[in-house]
Amino acid sequence: AQSVTQLDSQVPVFEEAPVELRCNYSSSVSVYLFWYVQYPNQGLQLLLKYLSGSTLVKGINGFEAEFNKSQTSFHLRKPSVHISDTAEYFCAVGGASKLTFGTGTRLQVTL
């Protein structure tokens, strides 16, 4: 069985500040890990993914995430956020394309 815990339901941050969105997972098998973003009234867009190899993964829009096996975490980071980053962010774990999603973190960027 697989599960994902996103520890923060909402994260308010000022523009140009750094941000970290936290994600912890559990899985009984080898994991694939993903972060998706959902802008208002839109579907989900893949930000980045970890399948294997380097534990630091870089994605689109300046986001990156680090896979930490010992802490079973896959936290998402951005060094400087923009107003346009305001959205819902979902962490997901899976394999063979079947994903389990976390409950989401609402990132609210203000001036």
Partner 1 sequence: SAVISQKPSRDICQRGTSLTIQCQVDSQVTMMFWYRQQPGQSLTLIATANQGSEATYESGFVIDKFPISRPNLTFSTLTVSNMSPEDSSIYLCSGGGNTGELFFGEGSRLTVL
**Is 22 in contact with 84 (CB distance < 8 Å)?**
no
Binding status of residue 94 toward partner 1 by CB under 8 A: yes
Among 23, 65, 104, 109, binds partner 1 (CB under 8 A): 104
Beta bridge partners of 92: 34, 101
Beta bridge partners of 93: 33, 100
| Spatial distance between the Cα atoms of 47 and 71, rounded to a whole number of angstroms | 22
Binding status of residue 26 toward partner 1 by CB under 8 A: no
Binding status of residue 7 toward partner 1 by CB under 8 A: no
Nearer to partner 1, 26 or 42 (CB): 42
Among 29, 46, 56, 83, binds partner 1 (CB under 8 A): 46
